[in-house]
């Protein structure tokens, strides 16, 4: 049985509960962080960019990383040829190379360009040494260790993301997570 005192309070409480139940957490956006650029040991050789992407509420596809301080940038993936006879190569391109390498290639590393990279919803995608990276060709000689340089991440859908990356010399240690 309802109390006459409680009746006036029930309607506003019920309305507030209905409003709150309709509220959802805002969609989580893609986030790019921990970006850094490694300069080449020999001027004129390519450098590389590394970073981490946290997926948003929906999956995305990274199609380009632009670096205005370099003449050209390309996404690449390093792969290990890890079996005698080159029968297996790890990495996204491995299925195209199985059985096509001689014994002298076992344990060697190679790399290949990649056109796009899926970013899983609520997942993490790392571009890290020994794996995916962005090759940076003809880096401006004005770029020095300790500088911050712009990187622009373009996705198949949605707005691009621009962040600053820290520049490291060839011999500098890899940043800790």
pLDDT of residue 177: 64
Domain range enclosing 140 = 31-168
Give domain status of residue 173, yes or no: no
Q: How far is CA 51 from the centre of its chain?
A: 5
Structural domain tally of the chain? 1
Give domain status of residue 81, yes or no: yes
The percentage of the chain sitting over the pLDDT mark of 70, rounded to a whole number, equals 70
105-140 pLDDT per residue, tens: 566 889 999 999 999 999 999 999 999 999 999 999
Give domain status of residue 17, yes or no: no
CATH of the domain at 122: 2.60.40.1890
**Pairing mode of beta strands 161-168, 148-155:** antiparallel
Give domain status of residue 10, yes or no: no
Scored b (16 or more CB within 10 A) or e, 59-85 reads: ebebebbebebbeebbbbbbbbbbbee
Question: pTM of whole model > 0.75?
Answer: no
pLDDT of residue 89: 46
Give domain status of residue 13, yes or no: no
Give domain status of residue 14, yes or no: no
Joined together, the tokens standing for residue 104 give: 């002298």
Give domain status of residue 6, yes or no: no
**SS3 assignment, position 51:** strand
């Amino acid at each position: 049985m309802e109390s006459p005192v409680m009746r006036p309070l029930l309607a506003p409480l019920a309305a507030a509960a209905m409003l709150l139940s309709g509220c959802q957490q805002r969609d989580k956006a893609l986030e790019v962080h921990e970006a850094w650029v490694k300069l080449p040991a020999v001027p004129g050789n390519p450098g590389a960019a590394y970073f981490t992407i946290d997926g948003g509420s929906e999956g995305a596809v990274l199609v380009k990383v632009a670096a205005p301080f370099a003449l050209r940038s390309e996404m690449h993936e390093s792969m290990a040829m890890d079996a005698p006879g080159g029968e297996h190569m790890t990495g996204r391109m491995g299925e195209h190379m199985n059985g096509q390498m001689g014994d002298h290639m076992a344990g060697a590393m190679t790399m290949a360009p990649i056109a796009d990279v899926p970013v899983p919803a609520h997942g993490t995608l790392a571009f890290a040494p020994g794996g995916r990276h962005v090759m940076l060709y003809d880096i401006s000689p004005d770029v020095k260790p300790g500088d911050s340089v712009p990187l622009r991440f373009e996705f198949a859908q949605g707005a691009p993301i621009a962040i600053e990356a820290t520049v490291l010399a060839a011999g500098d240690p890899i940043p800790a997570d």
